[in-house]
A and B are shown apart, each in its own frame.
Chain A
Amino acid sequence: MEQHTLSASPVAAPEQTSAGPRLAGDLAIWFFILAELLAFGVFFAAYAFTRANNIELFDAEQAALNRNAGALNTILLLTASYFVVRAVQAAEHRLSQSCARWLLAAIACGGGFLMVKMFEYAAAFEHNISLSSSPFHMFYLSLTFFHFMHVILGMVILVAMWNGARAGRYGPGDMNGLETGAAYWHMVDLVWLILFPLVYVIH
């Protein structure tokens, strides 16, 4: 049965059929995801407007960023998302232990992302890069740190799902929790896929 309780009518929702589109995960998480995307979107727009007035400064400071670290992190997050997809597919086939293993792999990738990012920050702080050192640095640190915090939150959710999977909580009839968390994780990934080219690459 559908679990979009946020909008469920008082009448029992009809049994899920293969016909027609279906929203994966709980409706509530989609409100939350849209709000998150709006926050990042506003931040990106502010970046674009500020850059338009300081193109040379932005290009010069952008060139000093470690693009390899950024690319490595992109691969880590994309891989984590792939693992989360495999976890959801495993749960649909009642393979709880396999689901848990895929989730653990995704958590490891997330951890890898955080490690790379921390090395990047350490290098930046060594070069006296701070929120006040330039407009580009302000955006670089704010955007990546705001995203960093989202990776941490995403990993907390993945750990909760990992616990659920090990307890055998998910299956074909009960995918809501897993899909809800997976949707959030994909959002974290998606934001990075815009953030990385925008801040590290495009000039």
Chain B
Amino acid sequence: MQYKSQAVAMPYFIAAIGLFVGQIIFGLIMGLQYVVGDFLFPEIPFNVARMVHTNLLIVWLLFGFMGAAYYMVPEEAETELYSPKLALVLFWVFLVAGAATILGYLLVPYATLAEMTGNDILATMGREFLEQPLLTKIGIVVVALAFLFNITMTTLKGRKTAISMVLLLGLWGLAIFFLFSFYNPTNLVRDKFYWWWVVHLWVEGVWELILGALLAFVLIKVTGVDREVIEKWLYVIITLALVTGIIGTGHHYYWIGTPEYWQWWGSIFSALEPLPFFAMTVFAFNMVNRRRREHPNKAAVLWALGTGVMAFLGAGVWGFLHTLAPVNYYTHGSQITAAHGHMAFYGAYVMVVLTIISYAMPIMRGRAANSNKAQVLEMWSFWLMTIAMVFITLFLTAAGILQVWLQRVSDTPMSFMMTQDQVSLFYWMREWAGVMFFVGLLVYVASFFVKGETQPAKA
């Protein structure tokens, strides 16, 4: 570790992994509820399990992004973090607030939680992914601003690199677009319109900048390829991401009451959204092929390559499958969306956070890379989780095609619930693939506890 203050990333990474485990447990619970409807009812109803599953995902990815920033920014800026103490305080604030929110979901009826937390003062709750109580949302903004202050000050006093600039742009964008979660117009069309400014402009906009910066950082470290080369790729990727992704928001505006031209704009621009992901895949493989050093951390290299491939498949290919308006007319809100959501989040954001953790964690623990034994186990977890996710995606896609056919295309369309019965076989297979994913995750956690011979990290 080059700078002492980089160590504040460690608790962030540990919390991220812990919450990741929680997310998958709730994923398994609701996956089972798809086929055994009253499983754990009334203690954990489906809507609560779903809320916990998606909210935990977002929160642990945010922990991962913040940890990544605290690790990367001092090294890029070549100076200690502006305030390591602030970073640690924020960690506890964010963890306690996050845990309290999840407990709130689980222990109190949602309507009561809304009453308790001031939703009558400013109504922001009740919308998918933005279910957090007002207090939590304010907490997120406060933590995000203090975090941004910390890393921006660090960058300002040190070296400014393209990677840290792209990372900062992404993180500032993340905070700014979250502000739209406070805007909740009564007109449902307008509500949805701006809701996507958080949801879409996060995952298909500013988060892609964060993803690009994290990947570029790790690739510089593990391949030794010139920074100049890697930065040029990064510029191309983020430009493609923004050019396609921003107007690509239109693919959510097809059927919500917005003007018809969105069907054209959304289709054309989002049809090109696979481009930045394709560029990322070529980037990762190209850099690793032209590496100038053999980094001892093989697991980190594997995660980096995996991010390129799985992000392209999940976000790029599975996104394209249903992004054109004439296709989306039939597929919107079906299991095809769920298939895309799972592989895109895993391939792009889960894997890139695991990439930076895989690279940085051994260094923070005083070695260049984990022992061979630990790395082998970590690579096992890579393949278990990744293959399981491929299966989850394929089964959900099959369920989605069948669902669209029975419910929307057929001459004698079935009701929603009757269709759900017909596709239950695929839900069962998805659940078993989920169990395989969970096993992979446990192997991943175990890999941190495997000892063995290691090389010390360079100072």
- A residues within 8 Å of B by Cβ? 5-6, 8-10, 26, 28, 31-32, 35-36, 38-39, 42-43, 46, 131-132, 138-139, 142
Flag if B229 contacts A8 (CB, 8 Å): yes
Q: Which of A9, A35, A46, A139 has the most C-beta atoms of chain B within 10 angstroms of its own C-beta? A: A35
Q: Which of B88-96, B234-242, B364-372 contacts A (4 or more CB under 8 A)?
A: B234-242
Flag if A6 contacts B272 (CB, 8 Å): no
Flag if A46 contacts B279 (CB, 8 Å): no
Flag if B272 contacts A35 (CB, 8 Å): yes
Flag if B261 contacts A132 (CB, 8 Å): yes
With a cutoff of 8 Å between Cβ atoms, the chain B residues found around residue A42 in the complex are 268, 271-272
Flag if B226 contacts A132 (CB, 8 Å): no
Distance in angstroms from A76 CB to nearest chain B CB is 25
Partner of B236, one of A28, A38, A138: A28
* Contacts across chains A and B counted by CB atoms under 8 Å: 53
Q: Known interface pairs A10-B290, A35-B272, A39-B269. Does A46 touch B264 (Cβ–Cβ under 8 Å)?
A: yes
A-contact bits for B253-290, CB 8 A (1 contact / 0 none): 00000011100110111011001000100000000001
Flag if B228 contacts A5 (CB, 8 Å): yes
A-contact bits for B111-150, CB 8 A (1 contact / 0 none): 0000000000000000000000000000000000000000
Across the A-B interface, give the 4 residue pairs with the lowest CB-CB distance, nearest first.
A131-B261, A138-B261, A132-B259, A28-B232
Flag if B268 contacts A32 (CB, 8 Å): no
Q: Is B86 an interface residue (CB 8 A)?
A: no
Q: Is B435 an interface residue (CB 8 A)?
A: no
For the complex with contacts A35-B275, A132-B260, A138-B260, 9 further pairs of A-B residues with Cβ separation under 8 Å are A6-B232, A9-B290, A10-B292, A28-B236, A46-B264, A46-B267, A131-B259, A138-B261, A142-B265
A142 to B271, CA, bound (A): 16
Flag if A39 contacts B268 (CB, 8 Å): yes
Flag if B264 contacts A138 (CB, 8 Å): yes
Q: Is B243 an interface residue (CB 8 A)?
A: yes
Q: Is B233 an interface residue (CB 8 A)?
A: yes
Flag if A142 contacts B264 (CB, 8 Å): yes
With a cutoff of 8 Å between Cβ atoms, the chain B residues found around residue A10 in the complex are 290, 292
Flag if A35 contacts B240 (CB, 8 Å): yes
With a cutoff of 8 Å between Cβ atoms, the chain B residues found around residue A131 in the complex are 259, 261
A1 to B240, CA, bound (A): 28
Partner of B226, one of A5, A35, A39: A5
Flag if B272 contacts A26 (CB, 8 Å): no
Binding site of B, secondary structure by majority: helix, strand, loop or mixed? helix
9 sample A-B contacts, Cβ–Cβ < 8 Å, listed by A number: A5-B226, A6-B236, A9-B290, A32-B239, A38-B272, A46-B264, A46-B268, A132-B261, A142-B264
Q: Known interface pairs A38-B272, A142-B265. Does A31 touch B236 (Cβ–Cβ under 8 Å)?
A: yes
Flag if B229 contacts A6 (CB, 8 Å): yes
With a cutoff of 8 Å between Cβ atoms, the chain A residues found around residue B275 in the complex are 35, 38
Which chain B residues in 217-250 approach chain A with CB under 8 Å? Answer: 226, 228-229, 232-233, 235-236, 239-240, 243-244
With a cutoff of 8 Å between Cβ atoms, the chain B residues found around residue A43 in the complex are 268
With a cutoff of 8 Å between Cβ atoms, the chain B residues found around residue A5 in the complex are 226, 228-229, 232
With a cutoff of 8 Å between Cβ atoms, the chain A residues found around residue B236 in the complex are 6, 28, 31-32
Minimal Cβ-Cβ distance residue in A for B244: A39
Minimal Cβ-Cβ distance residue in B for A30: B236
Distance in angstroms from A139 CB to nearest chain B CB is 8
A-contact bits for B190-221, CB 8 A (1 contact / 0 none): 00000000000000000000000000000000
A203 to B265, CA, bound (A): 24
With a cutoff of 8 Å between Cβ atoms, the chain A residues found around residue B232 in the complex are 5-6, 26, 28
A26 to B229, CA, bound (A): 11
Q: Which of B243, B261, B267, B290 has the most C-beta atoms of chain A within 10 angstroms of its own C-beta? A: B261
A164 to B260, CA, bound (A): 44
Distance in angstroms from A184 CB to nearest chain B CB is 12
Distance in angstroms from A167 CB to nearest chain B CB is 21
A38 to B240, CA, bound (A): 12
With a cutoff of 8 Å between Cβ atoms, the chain B residues found around residue A139 in the complex are 264
Partner of B243, one of A26, A39, A46: A39
A128 to B239, CA, bound (A): 34
Partner of A39, one of B233, B261, B272, B292: B272
With a cutoff of 8 Å between Cβ atoms, the chain B residues found around residue A36 in the complex are 243
With a cutoff of 8 Å between Cβ atoms, the chain A residues found around residue B260 in the complex are 132, 138
A6 to B233, CA, bound (A): 7
A39 to B268, CA, bound (A): 7
With a cutoff of 8 Å between Cβ atoms, the chain A residues found around residue B229 in the complex are 5-6, 8
Minimal Cβ-Cβ distance residue in A for B262: A131
With a cutoff of 8 Å between Cβ atoms, the chain A residues found around residue B261 in the complex are 131-132, 138, 142
Distance in angstroms from B352 CB to nearest chain A CB is 22
Q: Which of A6, A9, A38, A142 has the most C-beta atoms of chain B within 10 angstroms of its own C-beta? A: A6
With a cutoff of 8 Å between Cβ atoms, the chain B residues found around residue A6 in the complex are 229, 232-233, 236
A131 to B258, CA, bound (A): 12
Distance in angstroms from B189 CB to nearest chain A CB is 15
Distance in angstroms from B86 CB to nearest chain A CB is 37
With a cutoff of 8 Å between Cβ atoms, the chain B residues found around residue A32 in the complex are 236, 239-240
Distance in angstroms from A65 CB to nearest chain B CB is 18
Q: Which of B236, B265, B292 has the most C-beta atoms of chain A within 10 angstroms of its own C-beta? A: B236
Distance in angstroms from B265 CB to nearest chain A CB is 7
A21 to B116, CA, bound (A): 71
Q: Known interface pairs A9-B290, A26-B232, A28-B235. Does A35 touch B264 (Cβ–Cβ under 8 Å)?
A: no
